[in-house]
Amino acid sequence: MVPQAAANVPPLASAVVALRSNPSLGALPHVISSVSQCLDYSVEISLARACAFGSLRLLRRIWDGSKKYAASNGSAPGDRRYLYWSPLHFLQNDCHYHRAQFSRGVVEAVRRGDLDMIRWLFAHFSGCVVAVQAVEAAAASGDLRTLEFFLDNERAFQDAQDGAETNDSNEVQWGDADMAAAVENGHADVARWLFEQKGDVERDWWSFMAAVVRGGNLELLHGSINHGYVHHASFALEHAARNGYLEIVEWLVRYHPVGNTSRGLDAAARENHLHVVRWLLEHNLGRGARSGMHQAAIRGYLQVAQYLHEQGFNGLASVSCGTMLRAAGRGFLDVVKWLNDAFASEPQTHLYRDLRPYSLTLLADEPR
């Protein structure tokens, strides 16, 4: 059955042009309308999905059709709107669907970098919410123009809330992983802008700091910690050590109080960053680490494990039969030989305890 709603919008230009070749058919409006209805897919797709196609003309057609469809009360002759399903039925009549289509549509438009489409959506919807996923997508692509548009609209939304006038704008959700997304994709300038404009919102600071450290952006790290996030210095050091960024480790230790460097040493040992491990121990940092030797040994990083042992980590806190079992199970013969030479004579390590009932569990419970 052809949706009656399709008859509420002008016929497709393709249908009009095709029927011109047959004057007897092209002169009959109802024939043109019927052919157009058969070809018109706009009545079958949601507005949010249409946003992914990047066609404002398609959005206008869907919007106009939904308005005329919503105005129909179902009592007109031939009106069969209750006999079929179409997204057009809900766009104007269901407030929840209406708002969801706006939020999803904005995300699609942001992913396309289509500011004109975003403006169109804001012009036709009000009282809706721009989901944080849209802000994250704009930040990830470095789309500062879209973020500035969101900010301007948010100010209009707040002004409307403060006054008695009708709110014809939309709310914007900031925060979460927006700054992390910007940094991960090399847009430090966008991350700074987000911090300057919306630094007080709830945000995933852990992901942001991790992204800054992974990117080795010392300037951005300095600014972030100086703006009141000193309590994240230990976390930043751990990530810097895990990724082998010795320059950042040195800078954090020098300029910011880092309460726990042991986790950083364990992280560096786990990832085979001997230069970071050596620097920390040479500066008498991280000596409370407990698992570094074990983590290095079970991954085949013999030099790191040997260095830790030479520096006074006697192994009782980290090396055990589990270390031997995992190293052997993964085929690290040189590590197995070293463990035997270094710890077999120490009864407290129980290096050769019978672990056959637990061997499969021990081999599987910790990734490489």
Q: Which residue shows structure tokens 């196609």? A: 53
At position 325, the amino acid (one-letter code) is L
Angle between helices 321-329 and 333-343 (to 10 degrees): 160
For the stretch 88-121, pLDDT in tens is 778 888 899 999 999 999 999 999 999 999 999 9
Summarised one tens digit per residue, pLDDT across range 162-217 is 654 555 689 999 999 999 999 999 999 999 999 989 988 998 887 888 888 888 78
Q: Is the pLDDT of residue 40 over 80?
A: no
Distance CA 252, CA 235 (A): 11
pLDDT at 81 > cutoff 50 = no
Q: How confident is the model at residue 137 (pLDDT cuts 50, 70, 90)?
A: very high
Q: What single letter denotes the amino acid at residue 97?
A: Y
- The pLDDT value recorded for residue 1 is 43
Confidence of residue 83 (pLDDT cuts 50, 70, 90): very low
Q: Which helix (H) or strand (E) holds 26?
A: helix 23-26
Secondary structure string (H, E, C) spanning 289-310: CCCHHHHHHCCCCHHHHHHHHH
Which residue is associated with the tokens 């030099």?
Answer: 303
Among 341, 296, 347, smallest CA distance to 323 is for 296
Lowest mean pLDDT among 20-24, 89-93, 264-268, 340-344: 20-24
* Bridge partners for 146 per DSSP: none
pLDDT in the model for residue 108:
97
Lowest mean pLDDT: which of 21-35, 190-204, 219-233? 21-35
For residues 130, 101, 111, 201, the Cα torsion angle rounded to the nearest 10 degrees is 20
The mean pLDDT value for 147-170 works out to: 75
What pLDDT, on a 0 to 100 scale, did the predictor assign at position 88?
79
* CATH tag for 290-368 (out of 1.25.40, 1.20.120, 1.10.3470, 3.40.190): 1.25.40
Q: What is the pTM of this model?
A: 0.69
Strands 129-130 vs 171-172: parallel, antiparallel or unpaired: parallel
Residue 87's pLDDT band, with cuts at 50, 70 and 90, is: confident
- Mean pLDDT, all residues of the chain: 82
Q: Are 71 and 44 in contact (CB under 8 A)?
A: no
Location of each CATH 1.25.40.20 domain in the chain: 204-285
Query: CATH assignment of 204-285, given 1.10.357.10, 1.25.40.20, 3.40.50.2300, 1.10.10.10?
Result: 1.25.40.20
What's the rounded mean pLDDT across residues 16-45? 60
CA–CA distances in Å: residue 9 to residues 3, 25, 66, 141 = 12, 20, 9, 36
